Amino acid sequence: MTGAREPMLREITVLDEYGQRRALFIPAERPLTVFVDKRELVTLMTLGAEPELLVLGYLVNQRLITSVSEVESITVDWDVGAAAVRTRAGIADIEARTAHRVVTTGCGQGTVFGDLMSEVDGLRLPDAATARIRQSTLQAMLETMRQQDSIHRKAGSVHGCALFCGSQMLFFVEDVGRHNAIDTIAGWMALRGVQGADKTFYTTGRLTSEMVMKAAHMGVPIVVSRNGVTQMGHDLATRLGMTLFGRAANKHFLCYTGFERFDSEPIPQAATVRVVAGA
């Protein structure tokens, strides 16, 4: 892989409400057109933090490849905004497998090839006895994310995703869309042979059905979001036996599904004062 990188921030001048000009940073979004064996596949809008991992994870999460061993090379050239993927034996029936596109609510990239939902019943996540999370571990994760240096703090307008083992953060990436960020993590896992059974996935983005599906394909049974959960995301996680946390920031969170994986350590509620009429 080429290891291509581009600046992820661009400095511009703005005019504020006081009529003052000042400099600030914005995310440097750019298109990356992916070619597989010289066939144009898709154009992803990305920051370009880890473009090769993004492309690899995209292929994995779209079920176009099942193993990193199927890929011979990924070459990214930012001068032309292209990523060239060379496979070892080609992708069987690629035309048919990429013909059906479902446009989702994804930001940055939300197009799914084929009907991935048909694969739900074939997915198996580890049971609650072997994949669990304590409330103290969850809160340690949230504190790690609160302290994480990020492009979002400098410029906003991006999503961040991270992979944890217990309270230890293994990998963190930001991109213009949450789908790009989760695909990049999938690429990182595939390249290193990292399994998801004992991992927790964190995202700043909302948990839609596609985000839940991608986490399930990565084998990750516990997903945490700073944002909320959609109805389809909730229904799919319930069907998969996945544990979803949403609205998770500081010490606050909501566990939406998979209570059986969660070892709750409740925070004492503040005492309420009862006012008696006429007192």
Q: DSSP secondary structure string, 178-240?
A: HHHHHHHHHHHHHHHT--STT-EEEESS-B-HHHHHHHHHTT--EEEESS-B-HHHHHHHHHH
Task: Specify whether domain 133-263 bears CATH 3.40.80.10.
Answer: no
User: Comparing 222 with 251, which gets the higher pLDDT?
Assistant: 222
Return the pLDDT at 108. 46
Q: What percent of the chain has pLDDT over 70?
A: 90
- What is the per-residue pLDDT across 183-231, written as a single tens digit (0 to 9) for each? 999 999 999 999 999 999 999 999 999 899 999 999 999 999 999 999 9
Question: Is residue 24's pLDDT more than 90?
Answer: no
**What's the mean per-residue pLDDT of the chain?**
89
Task: Specify whether domain 22-119 bears CATH 3.10.20.10.
Answer: yes
| Mean pLDDT within 255-270 | 90
Return the pLDDT at 154. 78
Quote the CA–CA distance of 2 and 19 in Å, as a whole number: 45
Question: Which segments within 37-158 are labelled E, that is strand?
Answer: 39-46, 71-77, 82-87, 101-103, 111-113, 133-134
Q: How many CB atoms lie within 10 A of CB 189?
A: 24
Structure pTM?
0.86
Q: What percent of the chain has pLDDT over 90?
A: 66
Question: Is residue 105's pLDDT more than 50?
Answer: no
Quote the CA–CA distance of 31 and 180 in Å, as a whole number: 12
Residue ranges of the chain that CATH labels 3.10.20.10: 22-119
Question: Is residue 54's pLDDT more than 90?
Answer: yes
- What is the per-residue pLDDT across 62-100, written as a single tens digit (0 to 9) for each? 889 999 999 999 999 999 999 999 999 999 888 877 775
User: Comparing 278 with 29, which gets the higher pLDDT?
Assistant: 29
Residue ranges of the chain that CATH labels 3.40.140.10: 133-263
